[in-house]
């Protein structure tokens, strides 16, 4: 059995559009809306939302086999306004594991709760080389010293509040997407690349007239970056859950940008050996280029479901992403391999 062809142009277009939709954890509804609109094109799917805003797509088929599920997350790293400083600039509280040096000088949108969204940029509070000299380079890149300089005429807390900005307002960092020579560079490929993998797999199967061998649920979660995204949303009759999330690329890792990776263990737990063996056999049957790896500082949506009491066999696959939680990069070879593995899993008993 051959796998359906992947629409490469659609994949890149969908991913770029999704990457450009701001969706920090807690503020991911616009991204979820976008994915829901795309999936609504396929009559095979029954779409619904969880109470906390995740998207569930059910592809029901007539089969005696128990259902399975796959999950990826649309929420990203970001921040909220922690304090409005006396000079009108903003101190931030991070959402997820953003690294301050990776976003220094980056553009942001501040979503004012009582006004329009406002542009700004992230700077160290000793940014001027002509004022602070070497002290600017030596200032720790930490919560205490990073600030947002607003592109608005404000030099006081009162003037900033008059713009409609309040403590708790969402701050989204620019993704800075670029597609070049088979690579996609952007923040937040974790995990929007894998959302694109799921959507592309559904599109390819639906348009080729192929269906999963059993009922499958796709959960696009919206709280993964803070640890509880898929804690709910997976039905209790599901027997296998495949989490689709980035593979770690770096020193000491097996993963690279040109393969899909099966994670054997991360910082929380080993994954399910039986399901891992099944996925390996499927990949080898379909000649899908994959690697296995162990991730030292990592947790997944599937484990959130396990910790919440979910009784499933659990595995984790995903494309290699370089510079995770920084300015990330993936390659179409690894992304295509991931999409193919998803389709192969859904088409094999």
Q: Are residues 149 and 216 in the same domain?
A: no
Q: How far is CA 18 from the centre of its chain?
A: 10
Lookup result for tokens 């859904």: 346
Question: Is there a cis peptide before residue 191, judged by omega within 30 degrees of 0?
Answer: yes
Q: What is the mean pLDDT of the chain?
A: 97
Please indicate, yes or no, whether residues 274 and 245 belong to a single structural domain of this protein: yes
Residues 264 and 139 in one domain: no
* % the chain with pLDDT above 90: 98
Q: What average pLDDT does the segment 183-203 reach? A: 98
Look at phi and psi of residue 131 and say left if phi exceeds 0, alpha if psi is from -120 to 50, else beta.
Answer: alpha
192 and 242 inside one domain: yes
Mean pLDDT value of segment 170-198 = 98
Residue-wise pLDDT for 327-343, tens only, equals 999 999 999 999 999 99
151 and 298 assigned to the same domain: no
Question: What was the pLDDT predicted at 191?
Answer: 97
61-90, pLDDT tens digit by residue? 999 999 999 999 999 999 999 999 999 999
Share above pLDDT 70 across residues of the chain, in percent, rounded to a whole number: 100
Tell me the three-class secondary structure of the chain, residue by residue.
Answer: CCCCCCCHHHHHHHHHHHHCCCCECCCCHHHHHHHHHHHCCCCCEEEEECCCCCEEEEECCCCCCCCEEEEEECCECEEEEEEECCCCCEEEEEECCCCHHHHCCCEEEEECCCCCEEEEEEEECCCCHHHHCHHHHHCCCCCCCEEEEECCCCCCHHHHHHCCCCCCCEEEECCCCEEECCEEEECCHHHHHHHHHHHHHHHHHHHHCCCCCCCEEEEEECCHHHCCHHHCCCCCCCCEEEEECCEEECCCCCCCCCCEEEEEECCCCECCHHHHHHHHHHHHHCCCCEEEEECCCCCCHHHHHHHCCCCCEEEEEEEEEECCCCCEEEEHHHHHHHHHHHHHHHHCC
Question: Active-site residue among 36, 38, 147, 224?
Answer: 224
| Residue whose structure tokens are 């569930």 | 56
> CB neighbours (10 Å) of residue 304?
25
* Confidence band, pLDDT 50/70/90 cuts, at residue 113: very high
Binned at pLDDT 50, 70 and 90, residue 135 comes out as: confident
Name the band, by pLDDT with cuts 50, 70 and 90, for residue 136: confident
What is the number of structural domains in the chain?
Answer: 2
CATH number at residue 13: 3.40.630.10
- Map tokens 């996609």 to a residue: 184
Residue with tokens 């056999």: 281
Residues 301-315: tens digit of each pLDDT: 999 999 999 999 999
Read off the CATH number of the domain in which 88 is found: 2.40.30.40
The whole domain housing 160 covers: 78-173
180 domain-assigned: no
Residue 115 has pLDDT above 90, yes or no: no
Q: Are residues 303 and 158 in the same domain?
A: no
Question: Is 65 in the same domain as 138?
Answer: no
* 224 labelled catalytic: yes
Binning pLDDT at 50, 70 and 90, where does residue 1 land? confident
The per-residue pLDDT for 104 is 97
Look at residue 247 and tell me if it is in a domain: yes
Do 93 and 79 form a contact (C-beta atoms < 8 A)?
A: yes
Are both 232 and 303 inside the same structural domain? yes
End-of-domain residue from the set 114, 139, 173: 173
Q: What is the pTM of this model?
A: 0.97
Angle between the N-to-C axes of helices 8-19 and 189-208, in degrees from 0 to 180, rounded to the nearest 10: 140
**Does pLDDT of 221 surpass 80?**
yes
Q: How far is CA 29 from CA 23, 34, 218, in A?
A: 7, 9, 17
Q: Do 101 and 63 sit in the same domain of this protein?
A: no
């Amino acid at each position: 059995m051959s796998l359906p062809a992947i629409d490469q142009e659609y994949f890149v277009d969908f991913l770029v559009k999704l990457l450009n939709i701001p969706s920090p954890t807690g503020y991911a509804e616009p991204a979820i809306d976008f994915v829901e609109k795309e999936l609504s094109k396929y009559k095979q799917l029954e779409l619904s939302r969880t109470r906390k805003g995740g998207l569930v797509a059910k592809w029901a088929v007539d089969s005696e086999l128990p259902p399975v599920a796959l999950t990826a997350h649309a929420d990203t790293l970001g921040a909220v306004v922690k304090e409005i400083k006396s000079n009108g600039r903003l101190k931030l509280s991070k959402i997820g594991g953003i690294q301050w040096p990776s976003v220094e000088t980056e553009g942001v949108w501040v979503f004012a709760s009582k006004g329009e969204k406002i542009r700004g940029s992230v700077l160290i509070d000793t940014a001027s080389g002509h004022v602070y000299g070497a002290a600017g380079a030596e200032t720790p890149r930490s919560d205490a010293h990073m600030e947002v300089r607003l592109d608005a005429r404000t030099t006081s807390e009162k003037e900033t509040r008059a713009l409609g900005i309040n403590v708790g307002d969402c701050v989204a960092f620019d993704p800075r997407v670029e597609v070049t020579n088979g690579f996609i560079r952007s923040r937040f490929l974790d995990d929007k690349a894998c959302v694109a993998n799921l959507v592309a797999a559904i599109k390819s199967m639906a348009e080729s007239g192929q269906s999963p061998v059993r009922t499958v649920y796709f959960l696009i979660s919206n709280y993964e970056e803070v640890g509880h995204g898929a804690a709910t949303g997976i039905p209790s009759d599901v027997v296998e859950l495949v989490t689709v999330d980035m593979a770690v690329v770096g020193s000491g890792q097996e993963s690279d940008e040109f393969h899909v990776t099966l994670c054997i263990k991360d910082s929380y737990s080993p994954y399910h050996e039986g399901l891992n063996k099944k996925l390996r056999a499927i990949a080898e049957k379909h000649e899908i280029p994959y690697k296995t790896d162990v991730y030292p500082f990592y947790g997944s949506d599937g484990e959130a479901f396990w910790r919440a009491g979910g009784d499933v066999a659990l595995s984790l696959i995903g494309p290699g992403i370089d510079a995770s939680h920084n300015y990330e990069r993936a390659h179409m070879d690894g992304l295509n391999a991931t999409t193919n593995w998803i389709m192969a899993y859904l088409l094999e008993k």
